[in-house]
């Protein structure tokens, strides 16, 4: 299971258990040691990625952020994400993952490029097992 999906599931559970604040929304949670561990694990996975895998991962994170952004304006998705405050927390945390990816691109002297290949929302680059998709992406 991807690190971001694990985090989102835990955040959903935490949001459901959080007590409402005075305005009826759950209070934002402080960064957790679990998130910091997931960030470190994600960075370690990125360290083992080829340039093609980094490009896939860039497309993956951008798609993920686009989906979360779309949820802002889609009531059913917003509710499923745990409400506005929780969705913003998910966006902030996802941007932290993208920041690690940007650092890996810079360290490798690479630039993210737009691709028209398929990205599976359920698979990070190192989890991708579909042979045709691996061929399309060049790994």
Looking at residue 36, its pLDDT comes to 92
The Cα–Cα gap between 89 and 105 comes to 25
Q: Please write the tens of the pLDDT for every residue from 65-99.
A: 999 999 999 899 889 889 999 999 999 999 999 99
The Cα–Cα gap between 85 and 90 comes to 9
Q: Please write the tens of the pLDDT for every residue from 3-53.
A: 555 555 555 555 555 444 444 444 455 568 888 999 999 999 999 999 999
Whether 12 and 86 have beta carbons less than 8 Å apart is answered as yes
Q: Cite the DSSP H helix spans in the chain.
A: 3-17, 33-47, 51-72, 75-80, 84-108, 131-137
pLDDT: is 130 or 14 the higher one? 130
Q: pTM of the full predicted structure?
A: 0.77
| Closest of 137, 65, 115, 119 to residue 94, by C-alpha | 65
């Amino acid at each position: 299971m991807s690190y971001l999906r694990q985090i989102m599931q835990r955040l959903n559970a935490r949001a459901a258990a959080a007590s409402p604040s005075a305005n009826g929304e759950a209070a934002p949670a402080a960064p957790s040691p679990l998130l910091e561990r997931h960030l470190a694990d994600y960075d370690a996975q990125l360290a083992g990625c080829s340039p093609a895998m980094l490009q896939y991962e860039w497309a993956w994170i951008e798609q993920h952020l686009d989906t979360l952004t779309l949820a802002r304006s889609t009531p059913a998705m917003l509710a499923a994400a745990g409400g506005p405050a929780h969705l913003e927390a998910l966006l902030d945390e996802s941007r932290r993952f993208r920041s690690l990816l940007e650092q890996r691109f810079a360290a490798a002297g690479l630039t993210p490029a737009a691709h028209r290949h398929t990205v599976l929302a359920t698979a990070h680059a190192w989890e991708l097992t579909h042979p045709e998709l691996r061929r399309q992406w060049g790994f």
